[in-house]
Structure formats: C-alpha cells, structure tokens
Amino acid sequence: MTTAVLPSSAGRPHAGRVAWVTGSTSGIGWAIARQLASEGAAIALHGREAASARTEAQLAELHALGVAARYYALDLAEGEAIAPLAARIEAELGAVDILVNNAGMQHVESVLQFPPAKWEAMLAVNLSAPFRTIQACTPAMLERGWGRIINMASVSGLVGVARKPAYVASKHGLLGLTKSVALELATTPVTCNAICPGWVLTPLVQAQIDALASREGLDPTAARAKLLGAKQPSQAFVTVEQVASLASYLASDHAAQVRGAQWNMDGGFTAA
C-alpha cells in the first residue's frame, strides 16, 4: 500500500475506462491498479481473499485518486464463477475496457514429487482463468469498439526453469493464448499482449527467497543475492512500478498496434 505511483506525462490517459485487474490485492497487480487509477481508470480490484480492512484501505486509496473502485473476491480456480463475476463488474462499474490477467500462483517442487492437485490448480488459475475472463469480457469490448487485454506471463513463459513444471507450463500456455487471441482480434480495436517479468520482489518471490534461505542456511540478504545471481544478469529486482508503467503503456492508445507481444522486463534474464 506504500508503492509509489509513476507520474504520467500525458495527464489521465485512461479516464473513462474500466479496468479489471485480477489478483490486485498485492504485488504487481496492486501496483497496476494504482497506476491505472492514477491515470483515470475505474478499478475492479480483485483477490482470492474476502473483503477486509486491508481491501477497504486499498479502495480508499483508489477513491482518493478520483476514480470509482470496488472490490471483488473470487478464487479463480472456480472457473464457472468467472463469467458471472464479469457480469457483476459490468453491472456495478461498467463494461471492462482493460482486462489485466495478473493473478497467479507458484509452487516449486521436482516434477517427480509435484502434487497432481497443485498442477491442476495452477493451470486453472494461471491459464484457464485468463481464457475465461477473455471469453467473458471481449464481446463488450468489440461492441464498444475498444479494448485491451494484458496477460501477466513471466520469463518462465519464454524459457524453462527446473522444479517449476506447472508454473512454466502455465506461463508458456498463457503466451500461446495471448498470440492466438491477438491474431483472432488483429483487425479489431481490441489488442492482446503479454508481459514477461523476471524476478520482481513481491510476496510470491519472497516465499521463494525464504525457502532458499532455510534450505541453504542463508541470511535474507545472501538468499536474495543468490536468487538474482543465478538468473538475472542486472543483479537487481524489477520493480512493481516498472511493470505497472508497461501495463499502462499497453493499455494506452499509443499501443494500438502492439499485438501478440511477449514483452520481457527481466534485467537481461532471457538475453543470455
């Protein structure tokens, strides 16, 4: 809740738009919600957890930016409930103009021990949920003659990573979905693109740092350095604000001909 909002040189380019950012109670999604709100978009804030004092405080922060915002709780593993939620957002906030499929989960374990239920859950949340939100939101975008779909993939959508079979498979799948949808919509005013961050310091990555520290007996600083050192040539984390600024660009009119992109922001992770 203390993340900085990047100043927009173009005023409020998303004024009048409605943005649904899935998984926006934390990390990258929260930064994107703040960024789009600071540039005028009404926000459907979404997370798995029930509404709480924390989500109320987040809504207050968005309202203070002068936009409408409501909180929606849904576990995206409940696929059948996604279309009804999209209909509720449309009824309460307006049709979704900017859909950011950001929610994601991680589980790190050898493919040999990987629990099948975790595999199913990860594909449901990381891949099938974006399919369903796209199916639910795109018709109104086409009717209204404008739309942006932004999928939060990962460098794990571009290269393989050991001990992350379901995450890597789901993010590769999400890039395939992104390109297929972008091509299907290529002659329309609706674009579909993906962002592929490297390591970003969020709760999802902090859990991996904590696991590394306890597995190898490292202090937190050494564990962070080891995590970055292994893969990210810049040796620096990508920030949530940097990812949010890219999402804002992809949501803008300037990005009308960016289609089917798998845009990496990874400190050189995939350049090697």
Burial label for 108, CB within 10 Å (0-12, 13-18, 19+), is middle
- Residue closer to ligand NAD by CB (options 13, 102) is 102
Supply the residues annotated as catalytic. 167
Q: Are 129 and 48 in contact (CB under 8 A)?
A: no
CB of 59: closest distance to ligand NAD in angstroms? 14
Q: Are strands 190-197 and 147-152 parallel, antiparallel or unpaired?
A: parallel
CB of 261: closest distance to ligand NAD in angstroms? 15
- Residue closer to ligand NAD by CB (options 16, 84) is 84
Can you tell me which residue has the tokens 């991996």? Answer: 208
CB of 152: closest distance to ligand NAD in angstroms? 4
- Residue closer to ligand NAD by CB (options 13, 103) is 103
- In the complex, the residues that contact ligand NAD under the rule CB under 6 A are 23-29, 47-48, 75-77, 102-105, 125, 152, 154, 197, 199-200, 202-205
CB of 14: closest distance to ligand NAD in angstroms? 20
The CA angle 46-51-52, to the nearest 5 degrees, is 125
Residue 53 phi, psi (nearest 5)? -60, -35
Plot region of 268 (φ>0 → left; ψ -120 to 50 → alpha; else → beta): left
Residue 46 phi, psi (nearest 5)? -140, 140
- Residue closer to ligand NAD by CB (options 28, 36) is 28
